[in-house]
Amino acid sequence: MIQLQKIFFRQANFELKNISAEIDNEYCVLIGPPGAGKTTLLEVLCGLRQIKSGKILLNKSDISLLAPGKRGIGYMPQDYALFPHMSVKDNIGFGLKVLKYDRISAEKKITEICELLEITHLLERQPKTLSGGEGQRVAMARALIISPKLLLLDEPLCALDEKTREKLIGKLKKMQKQMDIPFLHICHFYDEMDRLADKVLVLWNGEIIQQGKLKEIKKHPADKRVADFLCKGETLCVK
């Protein structure tokens, strides 16, 4: 479970203001218009940017001031950012190398995660030879192999074709249930959100303007912005 308590972050002219939220071990989708601060919020959570005030509690431990690698958070950025100078296997095992796993234990963990994500056949390939869907699963394996307590996904499905997206949506949901950790996923597609989200956070201009179960938000959007953003043609009542 992750709790965000009155987080405040500022960089140049942009601010994240008074961000408070609680995500259980569930699939949470973060939505909002471009420039709302979605990626910045993920970077703040994984420690790549330092907050000015507030607290981030992961399983009730305060991780606000910890270095990114000490937080126990898996992060998958847009376009997956696979290390181009390493094979798929080295990419996946990189976190274990940093954590100084011995070779046998590392091999075992790599095999397990690859079987789970069905990417064993890709291990000897180079990242540039992977398709979008393959790259997505490799990046996910790399983020999950360090057994994170939270997984952050920055638009993981946006660059994929319809068929691959369909397949991976099911896979993501299944993975979350299997890992039993919170997934926080930035999402731009309505159908994606509809099928994945146990909970939705709506971020607007650096502020969370509504959060809750998707059904509740759809029924009772906080304001017109949320209604417009969510319904996309569907008729939702506006407060």
Partner 1 sequence: MNMEKIFRGTFFGLLGIYFLIIMILLLGDIGYISISNFREALAAPEIQYAIKLSLLTSLVTAVLSLIVSVPAAYALVRFRFFGSNFVDAVLDLPIIVPPLVIGISLLVFYQTGLGNILKSHGFDFVYTIPGIVIAQFVISCAFCLKTIKTAFEGMDSRLEDVAKTLGCNSWQVFFWITLPIAKKGVVAAGIIAWAKAIGEFGPVLVFCGSTRFKTEVLPTTIFLELSIGRIESALAVSLLLVGFSIVSLMILRLFLKRGIQ
Min dist. Cβ of residue 42 to partner 1 (A):
10
Q: Are 91 and 82 in contact (CB under 8 A)?
A: yes
Which of positions 137-156 make contact with partner 1 (CB under 8 A)?
142-143, 146
Tokens of 200: 């939705």
Q: In Å, how far are 19, 45, 51, 63 from 66, measured between CA atoms?
A: 19, 10, 11, 5
Min dist. Cβ of residue 135 to partner 1 (A):
13
Q: Is 85 in the site for partner 1 (CB under 8 A)?
A: yes
The single residue among 32, 43, 114, 199 that binds partner 1, judged by CB under 8 A, is 43
Distance between CA 59 and CA 24 in Å, rounded? 9
Secondary structure of 94-155 in the HEC alphabet?
Answer: HHHHHCCCCHHHHHHHHHHHHHHHCCHHHCCCCHHHCCHHHHHHHHHHHHHCCCCCEEEEEC
Interacting stretch for partner 1, rule CB under 8 A, among 52-60, 64-72, 168-176, 206-214? Answer: 64-72
Helix (H/G/I), strand (E/B), else coil: 16: strand
Q: Is 10 in the site for partner 1 (CB under 8 A)?
A: no
Interacting stretch for partner 1, rule CB under 8 A, among 20-28, 43-51, 172-180, 192-200? Answer: 43-51
Picking from 39, 138, 165, the residue whose alpha carbon sits closest to that of residue 84 is 138
- The residue behind tokens 């949506």 is 169
Strand partners, 117: none
State residue 218 phi and psi, 5-degree precision.
-65, -40
Tokens of 146: 């360090």
Q: Is 237 in the site for partner 1 (CB under 8 A)?
A: no
Which of positions 209-228 make contact with partner 1 (CB under 8 A)?
none
Nearer to partner 1, 130 or 200 (CB): 130
Which of positions 86-105 make contact with partner 1 (CB under 8 A)?
94-95, 98-99
- Residue 68 is given by DSSP the state G
Min dist. Cβ of residue 68 to partner 1 (A):
4
Tokens of 158: 């946006």
Nearer to partner 1, 52 or 70 (CB): 70
> By rule CB under 8 A, what string of x and - marks binding of each residue 154-183 to partner 1?
------------------------------
Interacting stretch for partner 1, rule CB under 8 A, among 73-81, 179-187, 198-206, 223-231? Answer: 73-81
Residues near partner 1 (CB under 8 A): 43, 46-48, 67-71, 73-75, 77-79, 81, 83-85, 94-95, 98-99, 142-143, 146
